[in-house]
Chain A
Amino acid sequence: MASLLRSLFLLLIVQSFLVAIAFGSNEVEEFSEALLLKPLPDRKVLAHFHFENRAPPSNSHGLHHHLFPKAISQLVQKFRVKEMELSFTQGRWNHEHWGGFDPLSSMNAKPVGVELWAVFDVPQSQVDTSWKNLTHALSGLFCASINFLESSTSYAAPTWGFGPNSNKLRYGSLPREAVCTENLTPWLKLLPCRDKDGISALMNRPSVYRGFYHSQRLHLSTVESGQEGLGSGIMLEQTLTVVLQPDTTSVESNMQPSWSLSSLFGRKVVGRCVLAKSSNVYLQLEGLLGHGSKNVDTEIEAHGLWKNADFELSLKPERVLRESSSFLFIFDIDKSSDSEPFDLGLTWNLPSKWSCQQAPLHASRFLMGSGNERGAIAILLKATESQEKLSGRDLTNGQCTIKANIFQIFPWYIKVYYHTLQIFVDQQQKTDSEVLKKINVSPSTDKVSSGMMEMMLELPCEVKSVAISIEYDKGFLHIDEYPPDANQGFDIPSALISFPNHHASLDFQEELNKSPLLSSFKEKSLVRSYTEVLLVPLTTPDFSMPYNVITITCTIFALYFGSLLNVLRRRIGEEERFLKSQGKKTGGLKQLLSRITAKIRGRPIEEQSSSESPAAQSSVLSSKLIFKIILVAGAAAAWQYFSTDK
């Protein structure tokens, strides 16, 4: 009995140990959802959905997950992805009005179209293969043409100009990818509650896509457990950032529009996603500092924070957090129910005006030159009126400097002359050594790889404007390399300007609970901004007239081969001898014609003997014909062989 008990006990212990191993020590999979709302100075509202899904490190081979999407974990296992970010964006982020120096904008202001970067945990030689496989997998997963990034002409391997320093990083972007609901649906499928319940239920497609800016992002990173024999955990972060224009009814133009969740999205939140560990709604109000500083001191007046003369919230916040330049109201949607849905509203009572924090330099990019000839790409950096650039100042050698990294990919048909790089600081031309601290250039190879330029500028703090121009030549594409809408022009993907000494973070004064959204805001993130996509018109053949091309080519070929054959096979001397021996022999029609001409010319008709036997003629004709056909076929084969290079 005792032995039985003991064995039972042992079994239990072993079992619990196994279970513990299977779930990776004590951690379990966690999912949390959050929504951040933020009124913008230009009368728009930003809504930022944030979903975080964590799978703890485990070594079970079954790879069974409770909440974590299996598709993603398989992706990570298969391609050994260390870190990856995929974003789908429509519209442009307005850096002037929507901010450029907060974690929200530095992480979620993405270039138009699709952007993908990934760091792999494989040997250097396999990185490209992994990348190619990954693009195909993602392409299928998200119903997008990400597989076009497979081609070596469309991606690059930045070393230090793009955020993470790694030689196993690959970066590519597709500026022309149209983003729509077919990309959102697979993205939502990765969430445990999809869009059926919780905060994601707000994602009414028409209202989401009616916005001025729309960016869905998927960021995953593996977390090393640190323990031997234990795999790595995965953290999946899914965000959707939309900028919406509330319907305005007020006549006053300087009044901020009032809105509620239901007026913005046409839906209400009826409850949390039951699988979520936390589900919160945050409201960030910027620029109310003057008002806040006199009121926030006491608890009683904290109440006045959400219901005051300026504005009114429809619900009482759970907590109010104070940041250096903004307030964060936290709401819990746990209390909402079917009968009493969560419908946060903001009503403005007084006109209010504020401005967002700006990145130290505002970047814009444009093309110079015209026509199908040479041109230049210019990047213009202009100082903004923000004091933040002082916070990131780098006081090396007693000089205040701003560092700016510029990372740019050039497609191969934009043949950049790197030696023509010119830098103007405050309208004075500078030599490279004066401002350029580091530069890394990998030139493009025709039809093989794209060009890439990374450079680090070190600028004085009081700089007003910086202009960088670099000349390029336009290449010629092969006829089958043109896209269907070739006459639109070709895109140069956005350049990325980042400020390595400037980090954006929200610095909350109170210690707060472990909300994933807030902790991600608290982390210092690199300040970065993407420039516009450029459209380069290339020389384009006239596709609408293939008929002309075919006719002209055929005519030229006919003329060429005709005269070539003539020259090759004609022997004048032989012909003359032949003619002499044969005398004049022509067909009936010819005879008639010669008779008529003779009559016109008034000469006697020349006698003509009858033609030779048709059988002999036809045999000669057929052998010659066969020879000719063989010759033409040979020439055609040779042409085909030499025209298709490689």
Chain B
Amino acid sequence: MATVNRDNVEEVKTDDGSPKIKPRPIVRLGIFLIAHSPIFSVVFSAAGVLALLLLPLLAKNTYISENALMPGSARSMLSNQDVSDGSKLVNDIKNCRLNHEGQGVEVQKLIGKYMSDMGAEVSYQKFHPEGNQFHPLHFFSGPDSYTLLENVSCASYGVNVAGIIRAPRGDGKESIVLVTPYDFINGGDYESLSLGIVSSLFSLLSRVTWLSKDIIWLVADSRYGDYRPVAAWLNEYHSPSFKVSELLKCDELNTADNFRRAGTMAAALVLKVDGRSERFEDTLSIYAEASNGQMPNLDLINVVNYLAVHRQGFYVKVEKVVSLLSSSWLKIFGEIFEAVGKLAHTLNPDWNFGIPAADYLEGSATLASSLYSQALGIPTGPHGAFRDYQVDAITLKVSPRFPPDSKTRQHDFFLRGARLLEGTIRSVNNLLEKFHQSFFLYMLTSPSKFISVGVYMIAFALLVAPLPMVAASLYIDGCKALTNSTHNSAGNFKSWKWLDAAKQVFALHLLGFIVTLLPYFICQVPGQHSPRNRSIMWGTTSSSLLLITFVTIPGCSLFSSRPHGTNWAVLKSVTIAAAFIGLCLMSIINFATAEIGALLLVPTCLMAQPIKPALRSRRVKSLLGAFCSLVLVTIGFPVIFFAISKGLLGEGLGGLSLGGEFWIWLESLWAWKSATYLYIGMVHLPCWLLCLCILFHPS
């Protein structure tokens, strides 16, 4: 220990001969990094992007972590009798809808009758289609208790049907939920097949003795969208208002005091059947992303995937960005990685990290979609409503390979679909504890491959690592510059250099906060406005606010030529520090948003430099730098980035309606309480404005 201490304080003779204590190695390393920050920031950022591109290679195969699940270990008990019950229901619904041309609740009553014939307890629930009201202070406040509007019109409401099978010997503490969204008015033939599948299963479950959790089958009235009925039902389940509701008086169907419950939900499965499969097999798509990039436990996906692939022979897929599949640059990357992998394999046969370029392409397209849906923070299906109540849920979308009127194929399809669900329910039923064993933070690159949090965080960490380094180095530079310029007085306040810059950064962040809240007030403006008008309103108020900020806060003046106290280097340093803090905070809330945000914000922040000196110097290098920073700042503007990403996703751009579309997009973000909205308003926008300030800094 003594020697170590002496090592630490190993002295170095300075010029005047007095011993100077050498700092510790970690401090020296820090100083070294800061001193060479330009090189390191380039290296780290490049490594960050590369690590992101490498992620499909690093994906691991999924495995079932919870031993109690035991998927596929029991023989399926589903009989042909059950399946024919399901087919009968589908036929009856068809006939019923022909007889009662899209009115009343006849179909609901029919389904309810089927349920009660199977021995289930049936309840009907009325809900109002509009529930989501944006309120800026309700972010992260958990699921809303949709406050009942005073004047509920009876014209539009939906009716959900829920049936509960009580586990014969269970204690009723837990339940498993099956959801089939069905549009009772104009649901297609394919949609009713999902009812058939679950009805077959339900008929089986009402007989079996192995249930330990109650089973709830919810037929959600999806005429107002898939999500809303499920959310309304869950809201009634978890936080009913015991006050009298206007909606109850609306109809011949009396649903008062009828709502039934069945314990804590262990898991939920949403089943949808849509259009014909393009492949030879029946296709099963799994959707898992819930609000703010939350994912269900990986074990739930694993169980479904295992049973679908190994027992029922479905082709399982998860969503991917199709346009990426044909992108040539990604293909080149894939080929390079493949070549490197092959090379490594020849060097040492144990190194098997190479994957074929086609697999890489598929993996990255899936990963991109996963990243995109998580970053957007909007649930990809009705399962998102369950996640708000900490219930693990996924949506299974099945596409049969036959036309909907083929009776013979339908039987087989029902059998396999119901067996898949039966196996999944049996596995979840085996669980003694709630899902906790496997991952919650992951991204899928294929239905059977995932990247865990420990791996994908590396890419982000590398990407944001330059920020503190550059901030520190800029701060040191800025301080030096300031001390040189105002040599006489600055010595006393050396450590307070950043205060002016911090004021400016704070002012712009405050502005960002106000701009974030503005849409709420714009929505309160009476009268009907088109999204485009609203976006114009928003734009004008925001820019006028910006102008006011610039006028009132002296340090912020963007275009004034008068040189003032704040050095741009210090300003940039504080900006980068703020961006770093914002990104790190966001990475905890929603990793995908932070990752995409970092990809945009990090280069912009690092490259931002005043363009005036660059133009004055007329050197190619500085001109190129100025051009790059200009381009980056342009891309960094949220509206422009929105337009670019739309173009990338292969959707058409309607030039003038861009503002309107952007507004609609933002509206959807806050309607879903996506933290991405907060990120854009409170981290991205202020940092972007600050970069603009630096760009036009009169230095």
Chain B contacts with A in 161-218, Cβ cutoff 8 A: 166, 168-174, 209
Set B6, B244, B264: member contacting A535, Cβ < 8 A = B264
CA distance A465 to B256 in the complex (A): 10
Interchain CA distance A34-B7 in the complex, whole Å: 91
Q: Mark B214-248, 1 if CB is under 8 A from A, else 0.
A: 00000000000000000000000011101111000
In B455-511, the 8 Å CB interface with A consists of none
Is there an interface contact between A532 and B263, defined as CB atoms closer than 8 Å? Answer: yes
A250 at the binding interface (Cβ < 8 Å): no
- Taken together as a complex, chains A and B put the C-alpha atoms of A488 and B433 apart, in Å, by 4
Query: Which one, A15-23, A324-332, A433-441, A576-584, is touching chain B?
Result: A576-584
Residues 47-105 of B at the A interface (beta carbon under 8 Å)? none
Q: Which chain B residue shows the least CB distance to A617?
A: B2
- Given contacts A469-B242, A488-B432, A570-B5, is CB(A373)–CB(B174) below 8 Å? no
B389 at the interface (CB under 8 A from A): yes
One of A64-72, A189-197, A306-314, A421-429 contacting the partner: A421-429
Chain B residues within an 8 Å CB radius of A369: 238-239
Contacts of A544 in B (CB 8 A): 436-437
What B residues does A467 contact at CB under 8 A? 242
Docked CA distance A584–B243 (Å)? 84
A621 on the B face (CB < 8 A): yes
Which residues of the other chain, A, contact B149 by a CB distance below 8 angstroms?
none
The closest CB in chain B to the CB of A488 belongs to B433
What distance in Å separates the Cβ of A353 from its nearest Cβ neighbour in chain B? Answer: 14
**The one of A382, A428, A624 that contacts B257, using a Cβ cutoff of 8 Å:** A382
Residue of A nearest to B265 (CB): A370
Asked if A575 lies at the interface with its beta carbon under 8 angstroms from chain B, I say yes
Within the complex, what minimum Cβ distance (angstroms) separates A492 from chain B? 10
Whether, in the assembled complex, A458 has its beta carbon less than 8 Å from a beta carbon of chain B, the answer is no
B124 CB, min distance to chain A CBs, angstroms:
16
Chain A CB within 10 Å — which of B9, B119, B264, B389 has the most?
B264
Q: Residue B3 at the A interface, CB < 8 A? A: yes
List of A residues within 8 angstroms of B173 by Cβ: 489, 491, 532-535
- Cα A422 to Cα B240 with chains together (Å): 13
> In the assembly, what is the distance between CA of A486 and CA of B433, in Å?
8
**Nearest chain B residue, comparing its CB with the CB of A94:** B166
Residue in B2, B13, B170, B264 whose CB lies within 8 Å of A620: B2
Q: Are A586 and B432 in contact (CB under 8 A)?
A: no
Contacts of A487 in B (CB 8 A): 433-434, 436
Binary per-residue interface labels of chain B (1-33) against chain A in the complex, 1 for a CB within 8 Å, 0 otherwise: 111011101110100000101000000000000
Partner of B172, one of A428, A533, A580: A533
Query: A370-B390, A537-B434 given as contacts; is B171 within 8 A of A427 (CB)?
Result: no
Would you give the shortest CB distance from B431 to chain A, in whole angstroms? 9
CB–CB B168/A212 < 8 A: yes
Q: How far is the CB of B518 from chain A (nearest CB, A)?
A: 30
Chain A residue nearest to B209 in the complex (CB): A210
Verify if B261 is at the interface (C-beta below 8 Å from A): yes
By a CB distance below 8 angstroms, the chain A residues around B625 are none
Which residues in window 243-259 of B have CB below 8 A to A? 243-245, 256-257
In the complex formed, the residue of B with least CB distance to A376 is B239
Q: A586 and B244 in contact (CB under 8 A), knowing A382-B257, A625-B1? A: no
Those of B416-453 within 8 Å (CB) of chain A: 432-434, 436-437
CB-CB under 8 A from B7, the residues of chain A are: 586, 590
Query: Would you call A465 and B19 a contact (CB within 8 A)?
Result: no
* Chain B residues touching A, range: 35 or more
Contact A371 to B390, CB < 8 A, known contacts A535-B174, A540-B436: yes
Cβ–Cβ < 8 Å partners of A90 in chain B = 169
Q: Is B142 a contact of A373 with CB atoms below 8 Å?
A: yes
What is the distance, in angstroms, from A358's C-beta to the closest C-beta of chain B? 15
Q: Are B432 and A485 closer than 8 Å at their CB atoms? A: yes
**Are B171 and A175 interface neighbours, CB within 8 A?**
yes
| Complexed CA–CA distance, A422 and B243 (Å) | 11
Q: Is the CB of A533 within 8 A of B171?
A: yes
B143: CB under 8 A from chain A?
Answer: yes
Bound-complex Cα distance A512 to B173 (A): 43
Central interface residue in A372, A427, A628, by most chain B CB within 10 Å = A427
Q: Which B residue sits closest to A423, measured CB to CB?
A: B242
In the complex, what residues of A have CB within 8 A of residue B238's CB? 367-370
Chain B residue, CB-CB nearest to A566: B5
Instruction: Say whether B433 contacts A464, CB under 8 Å.
Output: no
A474 at interface by CB-CB < 8 Å: no
- Which B residues are in CB contact (< 8 Å) with A534? 173, 263-264
Chain B interface, >50% SS class: loop
**B388 is an interface residue with CB less than 8 A from chain A:** yes
Q: How large is the interface on A (under 10, 10 to 19, 20 to 34, 35 or more residues)?
A: 35 or more
Chain B residue at smallest Cβ distance from A625: B1
**Which B-chain residue is minimally distant from A43 (CB atoms)?**
B119
Q: For chain A residues 512-556, which have a beta carbon within 8 Å of chain B?
A: 532-535, 537, 540, 542, 544
User: Which A residues touch B1, using CB under 8 A?
Assistant: 621, 624-625, 628
How many angstroms from the CA of A534 to the CA of B171 in the assembled complex?
A: 9
Q: Is A366 an interface residue (CB 8 A)?
A: yes
Interface hub of A422, A542, A590, A628 (most chain B Cβ within 10 A): A590
Which chain B residues numbered 357 to 388 have a C-beta less than 8 Å away from chain A? 388
A92-B166, A579-B19, A624-B2 as given contacts; A424 in contact with B242, CB under 8 Å: yes
Q: How far is the CB of A108 from chain B (nearest CB, A)?
A: 17
CB distance from A537 to the nearest CB of B (A): 7
How many whole Å from A33's CB to the nearest CB in chain B? 27
Complex: A212 Cα to B171 Cα, angstroms: 11
| Shortest Cβ gap from A230 to chain B (Å) | 45
User: Within 8 Å of chain B (Cβ to Cβ): is A269?
Assistant: no
Return chain B residues, CB-CB under 8 Å to A584: 10-11
* CB atoms of A92 and B434 under 8 A apart: no
Give Cα A368 to B264, complex, Å: 10
Tell me if A186 counts as interface (CB < 8 A to partner B): no
- Among A371, A422, A469, the one with the most B-chain Cβ atoms within 10 Å of its Cβ is A371
Q: Which residues of A have CB within 8 Å of B143?
A: 370
Bound form: Cα–Cα A293–B19 in Å: 116
Within 8 Å of chain B (Cβ to Cβ): is A163?
no
Residues on B with beta carbons closer than 8 Å to the beta carbon of A92: 166, 170-172
A91 touches B244 (CB 8 A): no
Would you call A266 an interface residue if the criterion is a C-beta within 8 Å of the partner chain's C-beta atoms? no
* Cα–Cα distance between A368 and B143 once the two chains are bound (Å): 12
By beta carbon, the residue of chain B nearest A111 is B171
In angstroms, Cα B256 to Cα A491, docked, is: 29
**B2 neighbours in A (Cβ, 8 Å):** 617, 620-621, 624
State in angstroms the CA–CA spacing of A214 and B166 once bound together. Answer: 16
With A427-B243, A532-B172, A606-B13 as contacts: A576 and B5 at CB distance below 8 Å: no
A368: which B residues are within 8 A, CB to CB?
A: 238-240
Q: Could you tell me if A424 and B171 are in contact, using CB atoms closer than 8 angstroms?
A: no
Q: Give Cα A212 to B257, complex, Å.
A: 27
A356-391: CB near B (< 8 Å → 1, else 0) gives 000000001011111111000010001000000000
Q: Is the CB of A212 within 8 A of B390?
A: no
**Please, which residues of chain A bring their CB within 8 A of the CB of B19?**
576, 579-580
Given known A427-B242, A464-B257, contact A579–B11 (CB-CB < 8 A): yes
CB-CB nearest 10 A-B residue pairs = A487-B433, A424-B242, A427-B244, A370-B389, A535-B173, A467-B242, A488-B433, A112-B171, A535-B264, A487-B436
**Beyond the given A424-B242, A465-B256, could you list 7 further A-B residue pairs with CB under 8 A, ordered by the A residue number?**
A42-B119, A112-B171, A428-B244, A429-B242, A587-B3, A617-B2, A621-B1
A sample of 22 cross-chain residue pairs with beta-carbon separation below 8 angstroms, ordered by A number, consists of A42-B119, A91-B168, A92-B171, A92-B172, A112-B172, A368-B239, A370-B143, A371-B389, A424-B242, A428-B244, A465-B256, A465-B257, A489-B264, A491-B173, A532-B263, A534-B264, A535-B264, A537-B264, A576-B21, A579-B9, A586-B6, A586-B10
Residues on B close to A: CB < 8 A? 1-3, 5-7, 9-11, 13, 19, 21, 119, 142-143, 166, 168-174, 209, 238-240, 242-245, 256-257, 261, 263-264, 388-390, 432-434, 436-437
